[in-house]
Amino acid sequence: MSSEEITNLKQVRKNSDHGEIHATTENIFTEDALDPVYQKKARVLNDAIQEVGMGRYQWALFVVAGFGWLVDNLWPIVTGLILPPVLNEFTFDGPFLKLGQNIGLLVGAVFWGVGSDIWGRRVSFNITLLITGVFALAAGGSPNYVALCSLAAVWSVGVGGNLPVDSAIFLEFVPATHQYLLTVLSIWWAFGQLLGSLIAWPLIGKYSCTLTPSTPCTRESNQGWRYFLFTMGAFMMLLWSIRFFVFKLYESPKYLMGKGQDDMAVEVVHKVAEFNRKTSHLTLDNLTSIGSLSKDNIGGKAAIKRKIARFDSNHIRSLFATRRLAWSTSLLIALWALIGLAFPLYNAFVTYFLATRGAKFGDGSLYITYRNQVILSVIGVPGALLAGYMVELPFLGRRGSLSISTLLTGVFILASTTARSSYALLGWNCAYSFTSNVMYGVLYALTPELFPTKDRGTGNALTACANRIFGVMAPIVALYADLTTSVPIYVSGAIFLFAGFLALLLPFESRGRASL
């Protein structure tokens, strides 16, 4: 963040009169974008949080909110990790498991995201991990694939609620000068995949039937995936216990203010300040002197209206206000949709692909398969770091980095079909893991920069919605394409190639330019 941006976000006042907040922040929304009384009160609360600063409470929140990022990447790969032994035991169409999960993720994102505006942030924050853990533990005892797919859908309802809720909580407690930490939270996302792969390697690799058994694969000889789900479920219960019993989350001051509970909002700010060993000059009069919210602007329904207001025709029209902006917005939505289809179409089944192709090469060991999955997870970490470097390179920038990394992802996926040994297959997949992490790193940085500030929430929501919907379509495509063939790989690779060329058509390059 540049010094100019910090200056715009935070200005310390020279006077220190009692009852006056000693910091100011800049609003994202224009004066006519929200209810004027609500917006002025929100501005006061923003100033108060800025005055309290980035302290012990926010750093603790960085950790417990980071659990949400970890879970969001961990559980989507869990179904891929357990897929080979589950198919061996239950003999069903594998994409049904991923379909159940993706439907649960979509429902969870909508339900908890909206629900947190009705019953508050604390309830959603404290229950999503509990739901994930409980139903993951139950799934470990699944007697058949119907039960497993159903329980995967339910645990995913909990998983899907983490990012919408956790990101809102973090932003509502962090000072404006430190909002960039929302991006830094993605480091937990990388740890999620690595953690799942490390635990799956010894458990599933050792306690599973072989992929080509001479006798039927029985439950007694195929306990690895169940041990894995029990372990992951117990780990979720541990993370939930830390959130619920160790870290005390206060209700969001803005949520309380939106319910007309100004006194409780002030009390929370002072509790946070006390936790940070700071002093807050916020008083109840600072809020009440602005006025009272009308009945139409108080409570859960009003919160929903404020959220829906992001999607009103004015915000959407603003994203298509000019020909170039309309083209940019349309391309971003298309890119997120295409990648939302191509990425899970391959990534969700990569463990299965590794195992079945390895068997064809005379190496059907699940231990080797999950060892390779760990290697792929480790390779992805430096890819995410490289993305931060590439986007600042002259002549390459965001647009070039996104195009090249997406094209290479497609190329390496297609090239994996030419492998004639398990080592060659691993090599191609390592290259894919590396470039796909670069691709996602660039995409997450580029997307919000190409939306105007006042319409950024709407733009981000539209792209995320397209990504989730097409993610649900991925297992449906896999069902028709047949996982035992290379057709899903060809489809995924072709979509990545198309998306890579599409990225070159983006009309704006944001490298070296301030977002508006």
The CATH classification number of 314-516 equals 1.20.1250.20
| Predicted local distance difference test score (pLDDT) of residue 193 | 82
Confidence check: pLDDT of 264 > 70: yes
Domain boundaries, the chain: 41-309, 314-516
The residue with greater pLDDT, 379 or 149, is 149
Equal CATH topology for 41-309 and 314-516:
yes
- Average pLDDT of the residues of the chain: 79
- Single out the residue of 295, 343, 294, 296 nearest to residue 443, CA to CA: 343
Q: How confident is the model at residue 153 (pLDDT cuts 50, 70, 90)?
A: very high
Cβ neighbour number for residue 288 with a 10 Å cutoff: 13
For residue 1, name the pLDDT band (cuts at 50, 70, 90).
very low
What are 175's two structure tokens? 């000072």
CA distance 110 to 52: 32
Give the tens place of pLDDT for each residue, 92-134: 777 888 888 888 988 887 787 667 767 778 888 889 999 999 9
State pLDDT tens for residues 436-495.
Answer: 888 887 787 677 667 664 555 566 667 777 887 888 888 888 777 766 677 888 889 999
Question: Comparing C-alpha atoms, which of 347, 23, 382, 361 is closest to residue 187?
Answer: 382
Among the listed residues 160, 202, 516, 459, the one whose alpha carbon sits nearest the alpha carbon of residue 317: 459
Q: What is the C-alpha to C-alpha distance for residues 241 and 72, in angstroms, rounded to an integer? A: 18
In this predicted structure, the answer to whether residue 10 has a pLDDT above a threshold of 50 is no
| Residue 24: strand pairing partners | 11
Q: What is the pTM of this model?
A: 0.74
**How crowded is residue 173: how many other Cβ atoms within 10 Å of its Cβ?**
24
**Residue 31, pLDDT score:** 47
pLDDT digits (tens, 9 = 90+) for 154-171: 999 999 888 777 877 887
Mean per-residue pLDDT, 34-59: 84
pLDDT recorded at residue 29? 38
Q: What 3-state DSSP class applies to 282?
A: coil
- Helix (H/G/I), strand (E/B), else coil: 263: helix
Nearest residue to 458 via CA among 357, 314, 295? 314
Report the distance separating Cα 268 and Cα 78, nearest Å.
Answer: 38
CA 410 and chain centroid, separation: 22
End-to-end CA distance of the chain: 15
| N residues, the chain | 516
Beta carbons within 8 Å of 88's beta carbon, 6+ residues apart: 208, 209, 211, 213, 217, 222
Helix (H) or strand (E) holding 89: helix 56-90
- Per CATH, the homologous superfamily of domain 41-309 is MFS general substrate transporter like domains (1.20.1250.20)
Chain segment 393-430, per-residue pLDDT in tens: 777 777 888 899 999 999 999 998 887 777 888 888 89
